[in-house]
Amino acid sequence: MTEGDWAFITGNSYGQRYSTLDQVNADNFEQLEVAWVWDGSAFPNVNARATPIYVKGKLISVAGERRHVVATDAGTGETLWSWVEPETFRWEYSMRKNHGKGVAYANVDGRDVIYVVTPAFFLHALDAETGQPIEGFGGSVPIEGFPETGTVDLLAHLGHEYDPEKGIPLEVGYITSSSPAIVVNGVIVVGNSAEQGYNQSRQEMVPGDILAFDARTGAFKWKFDVLPGPGEFGHDTWENDAWQWTGDISSWAPLSADPELGIVYIPTNGATADFWGGFRPGDNLFSTSLIALDVQTGERVWHYQLVHHDIWNYDTPQVPLLMDVTVDGEDIPAVIQVTKQAFVYAFNRKTGEPIWPIEEKPVPAAYMPGEKLSETQPHPTRPAPYELQGLTEDDLIDFTPELRLAAIEALESYQIGPLFNPPLHRDNDIGKTSSLWCPGDVGGTNIDGTPAADPTTGILYVTSQKGCSSRIMIPGHERDAREERPTGRVINDFAVGSSRGTPRVHGLPIFKPPYSKITAIDMNTGEHLWWIPVGDTPDRVLNSAFVKGVDIPNTGTGRQAAQIVTATLLIHTGNGSDGTPFLYAVDKATGERLGKVELPGNPRYGIITYMHEGKQYFVVQAANMLMALRLPG
């Protein structure tokens, strides 16, 4: 690779979203202009999370529900080639069809190779120049239309019976993908995704085991069992026989790796199902964890469980970020994990030792009959939480006394409480309609809130939003009756009936602002340096009749930001008060806004930067488009 490339969706294998490029700086940022827009309307993609990579003059990414692999000219946006896998039932059934985040890359024996994991859970290797399958990689698949070479059927290595066309029987489980694989030291490591837990009404599911293959040949190398069986480390955290037939624990967020240590870092989500775990007592390793694996053998180097017996949908939503820091005079190779809980967990990435103590603190007991929660959950002592945790009256809107009173009244039917406030079922006897937990699965840091870091200073930039969750739990058989193709056989005692959401007050957010922000954290000390709102206060807040005459501070939009760090700037997405989308430049040391550039589309998830023919480009994602900016001339 050369300086100015962007060969991973997160910029490098460390997940930093950092570039040394400095052609664009504070003095000329606002001179950026749109160089080209790639129109992806032929590949409809609602989620717009596909981040391109830049390799030797090409941008390569995925598009649409079919997850077409598309190469474009990095200077003009012209489509150079595209390739797509034939349709199968496995593709048709995938709940993650339009969640594709991109592709992986490696140079193998002098050839540039692109690897894509599809919604149907196949791994393909393509020539970066032509888009054609790589001869000699993997093998053929017994499905009409598939290439004779260049493909690995990932289901063949999970250990479950399956049909090449239809996949794993739905009564056994289901698996798909959303994030790309990662290639490190000649090994392709493949994560996965599962059915959304909030849609699950039954207990059976396959575990999201991690797979690895030789980058040259596609030969299978190893499998790591994310749900440990008898004799495996962590088996004692499953207190009954649920380990035999349930699962999920998928690794749907991007992976990162340290090639020098030969370690790949795996963030996982919770076990089946998201909000009910009465059938799986115990802490349930390796759910909602960070796992460090030897990239050559798949052996566990270390792990840390971020949430015990997760029933809050606190799946780990972002890439583990690697950066060297100096703490109390000691140089430490760190791995940093941001979370929906608004915690930053920091470890020595070689040993797994926490950089600062992590304390097990008591948390509320379960409200749901038959549910047994962990009595404690891990709370980092540093850095401090960067977003709202739990909910009290002190957190509510206070622009006027009337709004504060209305907010208190709006919460009367909710069971509120501290962090890890548990779900509540519809037919409870405590007189509340539902429970509200904060942050929710939309609060803290989630999928669209991409963290970034400056390895030259050790500063982490994390974006977050205020948000709580409220799921009304109902008897499982009621939810099951709604599902056309339920996964599993045995119906749970409880399942999600509906999502009540966070109440609003006269159309205004119920919380005090900011509604979303970026926080700069010095990972050498664990101290917060500054925070800024994301974008500007929405017009619907400024123009509300209920705040007329009130001096409203910048609340932020309520949306998280896509971010990257360059040698000179922190750059992030956001919206003006009227909804106009912008790319913002910020002083990395102070948080001062230095400039903004209007974008032709509403940004989502990712930004990249690269040097092409002497020009530094920024490419920002939006629904059905890529937007490229550069300096004039």
d(CA 233, CA 448): 33
Specify the pLDDT at position 24: 98
Amino acid making up residue 273: A
Specify the pLDDT at position 296: 98
Residue ranges, the chain, pLDDT below 50 = none
Which segments of 5-96 are extended strands (E)? 33-39, 53-55, 58-63, 68-73, 79-83
d(CA 407, CA 96): 36
pLDDT tens-digit map of 572-592: 999 999 999 999 999 999 999
**Among candidates 376, 520, 374, which has minimal Cα distance to 460?**
520
DSSP label at 160? S
d(CA 546, CA 504): 13
Specify the pLDDT at position 442: 84
d(CA 590, CA 587): 6
d(CA 560, CA 306): 22
Q: Which CATH number fits the domain 1-31+516-633, given the four candidates 3.40.1350, 2.40.128, 3.30.450, 3.30.360?
A: 2.40.128
> Residue ranges of the domains in the chain?
1-31+516-633
Which segments of 268-317 are extended strands (E)? 289-294, 300-305
Specify the pLDDT at position 3: 66
Specify the pLDDT at position 328: 97
Please, is 599 exposed, middle or buried when counting C-beta atoms within 10 Å of its C-beta (0-12, 13-18, 19+)? Answer: buried
Specify the pLDDT at position 46: 65
* Nearby residues of 606 by Cβ (< 8 Å), 6 or more positions away: 9, 49, 50, 51, 101, 450, 562, 620, 621
Q: Could you tell me if 525 and 234 are in contact, meaning their C-beta atoms sit under 8 angstroms apart? A: no
d(CA 510, CA 404): 9
* Nearby residues of 260 by Cβ (< 8 Å), 6 or more positions away: none
Specify the pLDDT at position 45: 67
pTM given for the model: 0.98
